A and B are shown apart, each in its own frame.
Chain A
Amino acid sequence: MLHALEGSQAIAQAVALCRPGVVAAYPITPQTHIVENISKLVADGKLKCEFVSVESEFSAASVVLGSSAAGSRSYTASSSQGILLMAEVLFDIAGMRLPVVMTCANRAISAPINIWNDHQDSMTVRDSGWIQLHCADNQEAIDTSIQAFRIAERTELPVMVCMDGFVLTHTLEVVDMPSAEQVDSYLPPFTFKNKLDPKHPLSLGTLVGPEYYTEARYSLHRALEKALPEIEAADADWAKICGRASGGLLTVEGPENATTAVLAMGSVVSTLTESNEMLPGNKRVKIIKLRSFRPFPIEALQMACAGLKELIVLERAFSPGLGGILGTEVRAALAGMQKPPQVRNFTVGLGGRDIPMSTLSKLINAAKTQAPGGFAILDVEPERLPPEDR
């Protein structure tokens, strides 16, 4: 049914439809409204679940680690410094192969402190072994949250649903909220074969010496690779129920014969798509929406880039001292192609800087002069820099 809902409220309702057994979270802007709404659903008796208020994000992650290991469907949400404080536990959750789902309301990292949106937080834990899926709008965030539980429970991997803080979490827009029947028909009750059970004792996360550590880590890598078809299937099966897909691993929009493409993740894809539609027909580019950042869909990306001369990677974070993170990964992923496109790499919209409609044209122009292997921050304002950095 269609509703006009704030993103956070929509996510709270979508998570509730998935019938979690345990939710633990600590408030942090811009994630707070999500768990606030979930706690209200619990308090109003609309969601039967153990809601654990904790004293830090480290504890929130630890609670869902434990509850998931005990066989309960578990959910948390955080942002920015909260994700960093969780970092140690996030690696544990993945290493123990626990199917926890969390929402990352993407926000910048301090210092300097900044509460607004970019992707530095989820990027910083990209090697934790979590699946990371990005959402272009609130409908995708709803549908992806539901799919996340299925993916997590089938792959025994934790899933982080990344949605842009404020830009999605605080935006009210029209969304179709699935019915309980639809979600129930899609998501079976959670049964976890590795759950901690006194009748069948089992240890998780114990000390592993050099003789098995490599294999444990390799298996985690393989599990993420094997999750690729699960992510696609989860989206396709959900589309059969509700008539809408969120984009599998990635999607390509725009003219078939365009030889330039722009690749991006998250809500900026929406703005780029509308900007692209407003360009004259012969100037339009392909827009590649990368939904699955972990696992990284190398093969699907190579196929999406076949025939391209130029691929402009637009990202919302970077690695100081290197440059783009997504851009560097895309270059590596495409190196195996027979005729890879030239990859241009830009970061934009750090710490909530607005990404206006003019960004697409500016990007296409800036790409013309970027050296191979280059990187730039598209919207840096030289006059705001100290003279030595201009």
Chain B
Amino acid sequence: MIEIRIHGRGGQGNVVAAYVLAGAAFEEGKRCQAFPNFGAERRGAPVVAFVRIAEKPILRRCQVEAPGFLIIQDESLLHIPSVLEGLKDKGGVLVNSLKSSEELTKEYGRPMIALAGSQMAQEIVGRPLANVALLSAFLTLSAILPLEALKKALSKRFKGDVLEKNLKLIDEVGAHVTAGQWKKEAKHVACA
């Protein structure tokens, strides 16, 4: 089982990101679980969502305490100490940021991968919502699911122009991260 924690702010499509990622796992015939941990339900407030992906039915319903991967939709959230808490050794951190991966890694003292997700989404979709771009980057890096699965899951939720543009965004993002860079990490952080 792989456990992922997604951090964002209210309005950034954090819960949708969790649902779509779990939906992509379902499209690949895997078991999945995605749920939000709502705090105050208002725009801009820090929000957290959890995703579990496994081969077998998932019974546990507690929050993800030791995620294998973190997807951070807003770099400013890294200033909250609890955001990096519990991350497994060798776990991966993907951050929506205009900085480079090297800059982030230096600034926060641990390896991180940066993606200019909001910028790319603004250019391709017309809205600065990084969630789909981050999911595409995460799946490209970890190779735990093919991008086709993400596209299928997305097409169950959106249609028309919005869907087309997001599908294009998924393809574009692939070129900005190294495919399979987190393959080893994905194996390492998988738990029973």
Contacts and interface: CB of A to CB of B under 8 A. Distances in A.
B35 A166 contact: yes
Given A4-B22, A4-B26, A172 B34 contact: yes
A270 B60 CA distance: 6
Interface in B10-33: 15, 18-19, 22-23, 25-26, 31-33
A357 B15 CA distance: 23
A63 to B, nearest CB: 27
A249 to B, nearest CB: 21
Given A4-B32, A173-B32, A174-B26, A356 B61 contact: no
A271 B61 contact: yes
A124 to B, nearest CB: 23
Given A172-B33, A174-B31, A4 B23 contact: yes
B102 interface: no
A4 B26 CA distance: 6
21 contacts: A4-B22, A4-B153, A115-B38, A170-B15, A170-B35, A171-B34, A171-B35, A172-B19, A172-B32, A172-B35, A173-B58, A174-B26, A174-B32, A270-B60, A270-B61, A271-B59, A271-B61, A274-B59, A274-B60, A355-B61, A356-B65
A79 interface: no
Interface residues of A, number: 25
A96 interface: no
Contacts of A174: 26, 31-32, 57
B181 interface: no
Contacts of B153: 4
Contacts of B111: none
A273 interface: yes
Nearest to B27: A4
Given A4-B22, A4-B26, A174-B26, A355 B33 contact: no
Contact of A171 (B57, B61, B192): B61
